[in-house]
Every structure is written in C-alpha cells, then in structure tokens.
C-alpha cells in the first residue's frame, strides 16, 4: 500500500495504485441538495441553458469542491447535451425531467446531423477551461458522457421511461435502425469527449445508466460493443486519459464488463457485492462505489457502518470511494461532510 503524498490521488488510483485513505468524489455531487445550487438555479432559465452557460456551469462544478474538498470535480452538464448537439429538440421540465422530440423510426435519423455538432456543444469546452483554471492542483477534473445505449433510450422514448417499450420495439423489430443510431452516437460521443479532453478534463466517466434492462446477448451488442468502440478510440488517441465505465444495474453482466479491454475503472452500483467485484475484476482495475445514496441521506450510525463495510471489502486494491448512484436531493449537506470525514479518518 502506498501512503498518500502529493499529486492527484484520483489519477494515481486510476493508474493502478492502492491508496489509504482512498480518493472520494460523488455522482451528482453538484445539484439540488446544495442550497448554493438551488440559489443559482433560481436565477437562471432552463436547465439546458445552465449547462450551456460556461460561467454558471463552472461555478456549479466548483460548489461541492469548495464546500467539501473532494478529490474529483465532475463537469456540470448532462448526458442529453449530445442529442441536443445532434439537432434533436431537448428541454427539461421542472419535476418532470427531460423531454425530447422522440425519434419514431429509422427514417428520423435524417434529422440528426454531425455538422453543427461541434458548434452547439462548444460552450461545454469553455466550461471545462474555466473549471481547470480555478481547480486546486490536487483535484482531478472528470469529464463525462452518457453511453450510446442509455442516450438512445431518451432519444427514442422522448423522456425518462420505466418500460422502455419504444426502444425495445426498435431493438427487436428493426435492429439495423437502432445500430445506425448507436453508430452515430459512438461518433458524436467520441467527438464530444475529445472536445472535453482538449479543454482540460483529466479522466472520463461513461454513464451507462440503463445497462440493467437488457438480456445477456443484447447486453453484449448494445452495451459492451458501443462502449468498447468509444474506449478503443479514446485510448488510441489519448492514452494518458483514464476511462471509467458505470454500467448501472448490470447485475451478473458486470462479468462481461470485466472482459472489456482498455478500462481504467469500473463504477459499481449499490447492488453489486463488493467482495464479488474484487474477485471478478483484474487486481489492477480501479473499482469505484458503491454506497447507497439513501444511506447518505439517512446519515448517523448506518452511514458509518456502511462506509466501514465498503472500505473493508474494496480497499485492498485500487479503490475510489463513491456512491452506487447519484446524491438524492433530500440529502442533508452536512451528511456529505460527515462522509468525507469518515472516508479520510
């Protein structure tokens, strides 16, 4: 085990070091549980507008770093910036989540175009530059994108879904149309992440939030293959930028993820048994997770006990402390301070 010295602890762990205490950052660490986020949000227009306003998005990215001194800052943006960049109408309604002009059939792909993409997503690059300029030197700036399958669910369903009936109808009736959409998203996602890298992000997380709704062969085709294509292109052109994949809800399909090449880290959702994950993934793989966000919201003895359990199970190898999914809005901010204290104790 290496003692923590100077430098970026998150990058060292993603390069294979085991650090004690482990670095910590949290999915959705910026957001509605923070009063300073709600205050800023109240004086801006729509949520997408916030994502596309570099000064404001940079400020929101930095809010949890100032408050807690976390080891990673995640760019404040959203996975649906990519469909927006491709020319799809995207908006966010208060209390309802995202609303998109849904793709109906393969012919609708003609509405999506890469020309204009770079210009539309350019504000995100400016956000990254502003954050990098203000970030303490010990903090790693994490860029991200949604994985193609997850982003496709929103593009085809037109909103958050429970059943995923529309995208599954594409998948089972017209897989070549779905393949064309996924291919386009692989291309757009690589371009988008390269823009973030050029602007200064130092690590990437791919959010495959809807990895958990597919049978095994479909998981290989629509989750493993497109993510592998993105990772291979990034590794070839930016070998120094580590990539983390978060295949939320994958269950036993995490085994298929353990066979993927080129990953520096894997995000474990709350349901993954940590000792099983340690045995399943290569010893050099950085494992990230997987505290239940609702234990963080609860706090107290349950929080302390769960932090202890997860550290004991995962801390023997490269480990990044995180939640198993995003911080929930009802989380008292002081519980996050307590979590950071517990992890660094």
Catalytic residues, by residue number, are 28, 32, 41, 78, 154
Q: Which stretch binds ligand 1CP (CB under 6 A): 91-99, 177-185, 254-262, 315-323?
A: 91-99
Q: Which stretch binds ligand 1CP (CB under 6 A): 14-22, 26-34, 178-186, 226-234?
A: 26-34
Which of 19, 56, 57, 74 lies at the binding interface for ligand 1CP (CB under 6 A)? 74
Cα distance between residue 177 and residue 222, in whole Å: 13
Which of 7, 35, 46, 97 lies at the binding interface for ligand 1CP (CB under 6 A)? 97
24 binds ligand 1CP (CB under 6 A): no
- Pick from 115, 113, 121: which is nearest to 145 by CA? 121
> 132-152 b/e with 16+ CB inside 10 Å = b?
beebeeebbbbbbbbbbbbbb
Which of 33, 47, 84, 219 lies at the binding interface for ligand 1CP (CB under 6 A)? 47
Contact in structure between 255 and 279 (CB atoms under 8 Å): no
Cα distance between residue 216 and residue 256, in whole Å: 9
- The residue whose two tokens read 């993820």 is 257
Contact in structure between 288 and 249 (CB atoms under 8 Å): no
How many residues touch ligand 1CP (CB under 6 A)? 22
Cα distance between residue 51 and residue 128, in whole Å: 11
Comparing CB distances to ligand 1CP, the nearer of 136 and 329 is: 329
Comparing CB distances to ligand 1CP, the nearer of 263 and 317 is: 263
Min dist. Cβ of residue 76 to ligand 1CP (A): 5
Which of 8, 12, 28, 130 lies at the binding interface for ligand 1CP (CB under 6 A)? 28
Which of 67, 69, 91, 92 lies at the binding interface for ligand 1CP (CB under 6 A)? 92
| C-alpha pair distances (Å), 335 with each of 66, 175, 297 | 16, 45, 7
Residue 119, C-beta contacts closer than 8 angstroms, at least 6 positions apart: none
Min dist. Cβ of residue 29 to ligand 1CP (A): 5
- Pick from 185, 264, 188, 167: which is nearest to 225 by CA? 185
Cα distance between residue 145 and residue 82, in whole Å: 8
71 binds ligand 1CP (CB under 6 A): no
Comparing CB distances to ligand 1CP, the nearer of 24 and 74 is: 74
331 binds ligand 1CP (CB under 6 A): no
Q: Which stretch binds ligand 1CP (CB under 6 A): 71-79, 117-125, 192-200, 224-232?
A: 71-79
Min dist. Cβ of residue 82 to ligand 1CP (A): 11
- Pick from 24, 181, 10, 7: which is nearest to 103 by CA? 181
Question: Residue 275 is inside which H or E element, if any?
Answer: helix 274-280
Show contacts with ligand 1CP in window 180-219 (CB under 6 A).
207, 209
- What letter would DSSP give residue 25? -
Residues that bind ligand 1CP (CB under 6 A): 27-32, 41, 47, 74, 76, 78-80, 92, 97-98, 144, 146, 160, 207, 209, 326
């Amino acid at each position: 085990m290496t003692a923590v010295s100077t430098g970026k602890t998150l990058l060292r762990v993603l390069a294979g070091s085991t650090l004690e205490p482990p670095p910590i950052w949290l999915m959705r660490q910026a957001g509605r549980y923070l009063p300073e986020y709600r205050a800023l949000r109240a004086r801006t227009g729509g949520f997408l507008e916030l994502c596309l306003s570099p000064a404001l998005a940079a400020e929101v990215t930095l809010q949890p770093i100032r408050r807690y001194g976390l080891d990673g800052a995640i760019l404040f943006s959203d996975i649906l910036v990519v469909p927006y960049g491709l020319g799809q109408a995207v908006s966010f309604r208060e209390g309802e989540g995202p609303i998109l002009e849904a793709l109906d059939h393969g012919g609708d792909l003609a509405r999506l175009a890469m020309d204009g993409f770079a210009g539309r997503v350019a504000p995100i690059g400016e956000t990254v530059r502003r954050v990098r300029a203000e970030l303490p030197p010990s903090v790693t700036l994490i860029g991200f994108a949604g994985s193609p399958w997850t982003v496709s669910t929103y593009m085809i369903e037109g909103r958050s879904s429970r059943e995923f009936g529309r995208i599954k109808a594409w998948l089972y009736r017209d897989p070549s149309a779905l393949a064309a959409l996924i291919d386009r998203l692989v291309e757009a996602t690589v371009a988008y992440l390269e823009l973030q890298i050029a602007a200064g992000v130092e690590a990437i997380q791919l959010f495959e939030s809807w990895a958990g709704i597919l049978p095994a062969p479909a998981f290989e085709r629509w989750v493993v293959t497109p993510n592998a294509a993105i990772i291979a292109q990034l590794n070839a052109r930016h070998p120094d930028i580590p990539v983390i994949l978060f295949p939320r809800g994958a269950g036993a399909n995490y085994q298929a993820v353990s066979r993927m090449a080129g990953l520096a880290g894997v995000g474990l959702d709350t349901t993954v048994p940590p000792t099983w994950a340690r045995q399943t993934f290569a010893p050099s793989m950085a494992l990230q997770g997987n505290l239940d966000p609702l234990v963080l919201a609860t706090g107290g003895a349950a929080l302390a006990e769960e932090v202890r359990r997860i550290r004991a199970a995962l801390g023997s190898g490269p480990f990044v402390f995180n939640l198993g999914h995003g911080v929930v809005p009802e989380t008292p901010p002081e519980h996050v301070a307590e979590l950071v204290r517990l992890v660094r104790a």
